[in-house]
C-alpha cells in the first residue's frame, strides 16, 4: 500500500511540475514550451555551490550562480562578474574590478527584495565562508595559497574593487576561481536559512530557483534581470525554464531522448552503447535525423599507477622498482586496440603523456610508448627478466566496472611473458588500500578540478604523498619537484605550460604511471536545440541555448 501511494504521489508531483511549466512558459513548435529538459540519474544532493563537488551539482549551480571569472569553450579564463583584473608583478596580489550592474535573484531576505546588487564584500563573505571549519566545505584547499595574515586574505576596497592576497605567486590561481565553489552568495539568505540554503539558493545566474522535489525533479525559471546579453544586444537567457528529472534507470533516459521527452543526454552507458554508436564511435545512421552527437576530449586520464616507494613493504625485492620493467609494460599495451574494442572509440588512447594534450596546447604532440612488444621484450631482457623469467606474478587492482580493461592488459602482457593477476576490489577498499600504499599496481582516473596542467602534475609532486595528498605512487624526483615550483611561480602562462610539458616528459621516462586513455565528453542533443556547446571540462552552460 505504501509503495502504491509513493508512485501515486510521484505521479501527482510530476503532473504538477508539468502544469506549472506549461502555464509559465511560451509554447514553441515542439509543443513542450521553451523549456530545456534533461535527466540526472545520480540525483542532486545540494544547490549550495560551497558543496559543488560532483558534476551533477556543478551543472545545476552553474545555472543559478556566477563567480568572478569563468572559462570559455577553449578553457581560457574570461570575465564574469569581474569585468577586469590585474596581477601584481610578484604574482601575490590579484585586484578585481566588478560590474556594478549585477543583482541577486529576488528574495524576501533582502530589504529591497528585487534590487540587491552584488558588491565586493559579497565575495569576501563567500570566500571566507568556504574557509570556515564549521561549514566544512570541500573547497578549502582552493585558498591554501591565500595569505590569511594579510587583511584576512581578502579585501573589499569599495563596492566594485576586490583584492586577494597570496603567500607566493601561484599561476593556476586565476583558473581555480572559475570553479563552482567560488560563486558569489548573499549573506542575508544564508543567515536566514543556514544549512537549508542547499534548497533555498539565491544567486545571480541566468536561471533562478523555482521548486525542487528531491526524488522527482528540479525546476529553474528564467532570470529576467540576468546581466549578460548576446552579441546583438539581446538579453540572455533565451530559455524560459530548465527541468531536471531524477530517473535512475539510464535506459529510461535513453528512451526519453529518442522520444523527445529529453533534449539532451550526457555520456554513454554500456547497455545501449552498441545501439547508439557504430564501431568507429560515431552516431548510428538510424538516429542522425533526430540527434546531434557532440564529442570532445575530457580533461580526465585513466591510468595504471605503480607504487615506486622503496620504503614501502610491498616493494621489497619488487621488479617494478626497475623502471625498465615499468617501461616494458607501457610498450606492451596496444592502447589503440583497447579503446577500439572495449570502448567503441569513445575515448582516446593516452599515448601523449599523463596530461591530456588539450591542456598543453602547442607543447603537446609528443608520443610516448607507442605499441611495441619487441621493444618491451628488449627492456625486460636488459632488466634481467628475459621473456618474463623470474619476474613473478604482478597483481593489478581494480573495481568491477573496469575488469574488462585490466583483463585486456593481462592478455597484452602475457604476450611478452609477464604473468598478471586481476585483483577486483570494492571501490572503498581500492581507495583505502591505494592511499595506504598497499597495492603494487592499481587502476585509477584523475579528473581535473580546474583546467590547468598543474592539476595533473601535482599528483606526482613529492610533498603530496598519500594519504594526505594524491601522490598514490609515492613518486619522487628532485628535478620534477624543482620544475613544479618553477612552473607555478611563473606568471607567463606560455612559459609555465612549456615547463609543464617538460615535467610530463620526466614523468613518462620514469614511468611510475601508465596512462591508458583520455576520456571523452559525449553529448547527445535533439536537433531543435541550438547553442549548446560541448567543452573539455564538461560544464553545462544553458544561458545561450535556444529551442526551436
- Confirm whether 313 is domain-assigned: yes
State the residue range of the domain holding 141: 66-194
Helix (H, G, I), strand (E, B) or coil at 279: coil
Task: Choose one of 194, 213, 238: the last residue of a domain.
Answer: 194
Residues 144-185 pLDDT 10s: 999 999 999 999 999 999 999 999 999 999 999 999 999 999
For residue 226, with 0-12 CB atoms within 10 Å meaning exposed, 13-18 middle and 19 or more buried, which class applies?
A: buried
Q: Which ranges constitute the DSSP H helices of 415-463?
A: 427-435, 454-457
Distance between CA atoms of residues 295 and 348, nearest Å? 11
pLDDT in tens, 334-392: 999 999 888 778 889 999 999 999 999 999 989 999 999 999 999 999 999 999 999 99
Contact assessment for residue 356 and residue 422, using Cβ atoms and an 8 Å cutoff: no
- The residue-averaged pLDDT of 240-260 equals 94
Q: Is the pLDDT of residue 5 over 70?
A: no
Q: What is the dihedral of CA 395, 398, 401, 404, to 10 degrees?
A: -30
pLDDT tops 60 at residue 101: yes
Supply the pLDDT for residue 271.
78
317 confidence band (pLDDT: 50, 70, 90): confident
| pLDDT tens per residue across span 487-535 | 999 988 899 999 999 999 999 999 999 999 999 999 999 999 999 998 8
In the predicted structure, residue 21 carries a pLDDT above the cut 80: no
Give the CATH number for residue 106. Answer: 3.90.76.10
- Overall number of domains in the chain: 2
The whole-number pLDDT of residue 118 equals: 98
Are 333 and 452 within one domain?
A: yes
Q: How far, in Å, CA of 505 to CA of 479, rounded?
A: 11
Last residue of a domain, one of 194, 221, 254: 194
Residue 263 placed within a domain: no
Q: Specify the pLDDT at position 6.
A: 39
Residue 5 lies in a domain: no
In a domain, 93, yes or no: yes
Please state which of the ranges 49-53, 153-157, 267-271, 427-431 shows the lowest mean pLDDT: 267-271
- Residues 454, 457, 460, CA angle at the centre, nearest 5°? 145
Per residue in 400-428, pLDDT (tens digit) is 989 999 999 999 999 999 999 999 999 99
Give a yes or no: residue 429 inside a domain: yes
pLDDT tier at 25 (50, 70, 90 boundaries)? Answer: low
Is the pLDDT score of 114 beyond 80? yes
Query: Percent of the chain, pLDDT > 70?
Result: 94
Task: Answer yes or no: is 50 within a domain.
Answer: no
CATH number, domain of 509, equals 3.10.105.10
* Cis upstream peptide for 207 (omega within 30°): no
If asked whether residues 382 and 512 sit together in one domain, one would say yes
| Domain stops at, among 140, 173, 194 | 194
Q: Where are the beta strands (DSSP E) in 289-447?
A: 291-306, 348-349, 393-398, 419-424, 441-447
| 220, part of any domain | no
Distance, CA of 71 to CA of 69 (rounded, Å)? 7
Residue ranges with strand state E in 330-399: 348-349, 393-398
Amino acid at each position: 500500500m505504501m509503495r502504491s501511494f509513493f508512485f501515486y504521489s510521484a505521479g501527482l508531483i510530476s503532473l504538477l511540475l508539468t502544469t506549472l511549466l506549461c502555464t509559465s512558459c511560451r509554447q514553441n513548435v515542439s509543443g513542450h514550451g521553451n523549456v530545456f529538459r534533461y535527466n540526472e540519474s545520480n540525483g542532486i544532493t545540494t544547490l549550495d555551490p560551497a558543496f559543488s563537488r560532483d558534476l551533477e551539482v556543478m551543472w545545476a549551480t552553474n545555472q543559478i550562480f556566477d563567480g568572478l571569472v569563468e572559462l570559455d569553450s577553449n578553457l581560457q579564463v574570461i570575465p564574469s562578474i569581474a569585468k577586469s583584473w590585474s596581477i601584481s608583478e610578484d604574482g601575490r596580489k590579484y585586484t578585481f574590478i566588478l560590474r556594478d550592474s549585477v543583482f541577486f535573484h529576488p528574495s524576501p531576505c533582502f530589504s529591497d527584495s528585487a534590487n540587491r546588487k552584488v558588491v565586493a564584500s559579497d565575495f569576501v563573505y563567500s570566500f571566507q565562508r568556504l574557509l570556515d571549519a564549521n561549514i566544512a566545505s570541500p573547497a578549502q584547499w582552493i585558498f591554501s595559497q591565500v595569505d590569511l595574515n594579510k587583511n584576512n586574505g581578502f579585501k573589499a576596497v569599495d563596492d566594485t574593487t576586490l583584492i586577494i592576497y597570496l603567500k607566493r605567486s601561484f599561476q593556476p590561481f586565476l583558473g581555480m576561481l572559475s570553479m563552482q565553489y567560488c560563486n558569489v552568495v548573499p549573506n542575508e539568505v544564508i543567515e536566514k536559512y543556514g544549512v537549508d540554503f542547499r534548497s533555498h539558493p539565491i544567486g545571480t545566474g541566468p536561471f533562478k530557483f523555482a521548486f525542487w522535489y528531491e526524488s522527482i525533479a528540479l525546476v529553474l525559471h528564467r532570470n529576467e534581470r540576468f546581466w549578460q546579453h548576446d552579441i546583438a544586444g539581446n538579453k540572455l537567457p533565451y530559455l524560459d525554464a530548465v527541468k531536471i528529472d531524477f530517473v535512475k534507470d539510464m535506459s529510461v533516459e535513453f528512451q526519453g531522448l529518442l522520444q523527445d521527452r529529453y533534449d539532451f543526454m550526457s555520456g554513454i552507458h554500456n547497455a545501449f552503447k552498441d545501439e547508439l554508436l557504430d564501431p568507429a564511435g560515431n552516431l548510428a545512421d538510424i538516429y542522425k535525423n533526430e540527434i546531434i552527437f557532440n564529442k570532445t576530449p575530457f580533461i580526465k586520464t585513466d591510468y595504471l599507477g605503480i607504487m615506486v616507494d622503496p620504503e614501502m613493504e610491498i616493494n621489497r625485492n619488487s621488479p617494478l622498482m626497475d623502471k625498465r620493467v615499468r617501461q616494458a609494460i607501457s610498450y606492451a599495451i596496444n592502447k589503440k586496440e583497447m579503446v577500439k574494442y572495449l570502448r567503441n572509440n569513445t575515448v582516446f588512447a593516452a599515448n601523449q603523456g599523463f596530461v591530456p594534450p588539450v591542456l598543453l596546447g602547442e607543447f603537446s604532440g609528443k608520443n610516448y610508448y607507442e605499441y611495441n612488444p619487441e621493444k618491451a621484450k628488449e627492456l625486460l631482457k636488459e632488466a634481467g627478466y628475459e621473456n618474463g623469467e623470474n619476474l613473478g606474478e604482478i597483481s593489478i587492482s581494480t573495481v568491477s566496472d573496469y575488469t574488462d580493461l585490466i583483463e585486456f592488459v593481462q592478455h597484452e602482457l602475457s604476450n611478452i611473458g609477464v604473468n598478471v593477476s586481476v585483483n577486483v576490489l570494492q571501490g572503498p577498499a581500492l581507495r583505502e588500500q591505494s592511499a595506504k600504499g598497499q597495492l603494487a599496481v592499481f587502476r585509477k582516473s584523475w579528473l581535473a578540478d580546474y583546467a590547468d596542467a598543474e592539476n595533473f602534475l601535482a599528483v606526482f609532486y613529492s610533498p603530496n604523498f598519500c594519504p594526505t595528498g594524491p601522490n598514490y605512487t609515492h613518486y619522487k624526483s628532485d628535478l620534477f619537484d624543482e620544475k613544479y615550483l618553477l612552473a607555478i611561480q611563473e606568471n607567463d602562462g606560455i612559459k609555465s605550460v612549456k615547463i609543464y610539458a617538460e615535467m610530463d616528459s620526466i614523468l613518462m621516462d620514469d614511468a611510475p604511471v601508465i596512462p591508458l586513455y583520455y576520456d571523452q565528453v559525449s553529448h547527445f542533443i535533439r536537433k531543435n536545440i541550438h547553442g549548446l556547446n560541448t567543452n573539455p571540462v564538461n560544464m553545462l552552460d544553458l544561458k545561450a541555448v535556444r529551442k526551436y
